[in-house]
Amino acid sequence: MTMENTTERLDLGRFVTQGWTVYRGNFPAVLMIVLAFSLPVNIALSMLPSGEMIRPDDYQGFGRYLALAVAMGFVSNTFIVLALSKVVESSVAGSPVGAAAAFRHAYSRWGAGLSTGLVAALIVLGLSLLFVVPGIVRGVAYSFCIMLVSLRGLSGNAALERSRSLVRGRWWQVFWYQFVFFLFTAVVTAAVRPLLVLFPPVALVDVVANTIHDLFYACSMAMSISYFLELEAVVGEEKAGS
């Protein structure tokens, strides 16, 4: 495989375009995935007595609220990645699947996905407590672990090490590409949120805002999954040719 061919296959613009195309072409399934896994979490968070839990003089209350929000978001995002990985891979292969098939697939891998994601999060958190940089380095190295759980039947250390092997030698590329993919979500969400101040400050507004964010997060994730699929193929060909 020539350097030009590899560079062309791993071009950033290709995955932005492909991820958007897959997202748009499978939007009914994506919408159902987000509504099924994210909307209940957003509704539950809006119903929490945050005013009582987050007081200036109550750090424990803030800690409980933050821990609960992070835990619920972690579970929701894991299911979204598990399901969306199936949707993207099937679409790229020319055999799109619907939301029902994606749900079944996500539930078949939910235990492995949650346990693998938890181990990865604890490792990254532990390294971050030592110093920020090691946590960032390992976080990028684990970028593809849930996709590997979903699509390759791996779990635990096998998924983490396989993700690290895909990133090895391309850490800066993976970091930059993931930054660009998820910057899309951040920019769109930042543009939408100011419009919501036009509405009364009710819980429904927060639910809508968070669900919109999650819909665009799914688009960013579609770009990331598209990148993972091609990177995996490139790395496999490089190893076969060495």
Render pLDDT for 187-234 as a digit per residue (tens, 0 to 9): 877 777 676 666 665 667 778 878 888 999 999 999 999 999 999 999
- Tell me what percent of the chain is helix, strand and coil, each rounded to the nearest 5: 85, 0, 15
* Contact (Cβ atoms closer than 8 angstroms) between residue 80 and residue 33: yes
Structure tokens at 189: 């969400």
Q: What is the mean pLDDT of residues 105-111?
A: 96
Q: Across residues 77-84, what is the average pLDDT? A: 96
Identity of the amino acid at 60: Q
CA 90-92-95 angle, 5° bins:
40
- Residue 49 to residues 21, 62, 206, Cα–Cα distance (Å): 40, 11, 14
27: which 2 tokens?
A: 């939007």
Weakest mean pLDDT among 17-31, 108-122, 135-149, 188-202: 188-202
State yes or no: pLDDT of 59 exceeds 70.
no
Q: Which residues pair with 55 in a beta bridge?
A: 58
Residue type for position 139? G
Query: What pTM, to 2 d.p., does this model score?
Result: 0.89
